[in-house]
Structure 1
């Protein structure tokens, strides 16, 4: 073998040796790539399985959830219906109270305390209580104020021979009272007259005079007449009024 052939042979051997790692590594790198792809596919499948497991709801769970929703809806409807019934009941009470305000049984004109007149009724009479002069006419008491006369509450201790048409009787305990325009009277047989007395606490009356003042006490409806505070009650048939405070 000449020198040139020897050089060519060495060059070929060197080239084969230097290319062998790449040839050997090539299949190994391809296998690694295929392995990596397979691993990614497995991870993706695993993630999809986890997602499916998380989002899948068993039929029993669906029924339980539906029952809970139905219970909540029924509870909401019951509360709504209860509110509606309560509103209707309050409206009916308001209507009964309003019905009272527009219906008076007084046979003579009624004037609430504070009302002022220039001329007294012709047939008024004079009533003196503790040295104070009042003018009385059909259950209404007047007191002079300058050149006018002002309607006032019935003075305690005032005595009149006859009560006007429209008065009514109420029992409280063992006492029988006569009531007119929010004032309470007791019959005095030795004097043959009716005497103005304080309203008893707890007495129940069927009506209040037109001048009753509407109030709200701690969110509750109240009425005030001549210093007496009343609460409205429903006795099963109609609205009545019970005295709760005096003064």
Structure 2
């Protein structure tokens, strides 16, 4: 793996206390220190809390922070800009912008991304992957507003392969958290310019992408971790585990893909 993304949305960061987040980070650092860089979610409702989470992450040895504009009251672009500037300046940790409108209900405009990309300490973007036909134009538009060396990466596993083929710098993958070989096979194929193989590998995972769309990747990954025997954790309430019928679908797909 090139890096580990800890306490992202699939890591349920927003539901965890500061102490729980610190414990998760310390456990991860203990296992992988010096092997791969760790990007850790530091999003919080309040700016001062996000600053403290960034400071915790830096002190523990994280390489960067993943910051989403978590909110209850809808935020303006100026509010989000100031939030990021403060966390970048006071947290002391390089930041990746986390554009996840499905959960935050805030979408970054290209102009806001351009403004933030020039703030010292803000180094990357994790954004939702668009549909395949829209990828080249969107990626080109973003390249036009950020400085050279600013990393542009995508999440949304079922569309991510096209972003890598188009030249995105990173795939912030959900599936690779439990099935790293499947994720890295796609990354390696795109890295050597074999778009056909990358698309073939991606198409093979279509049954899993369907589960993600039907039940949410979070719930499917919790069920998968249980089916793999890695842990027996239930998602944090009010999120409920998948019902038995859905869990049986997950098990059947994992078996058919030789992932279990």
Shorter-chain TM-score bucket reads: under 0.3
Larger radius of gyration: 1
The TM-score normalised by the length of structure 1 is 0.26
The TM-score normalised by the length of structure 2 is 0.25
Structure with greater strand percent: 1
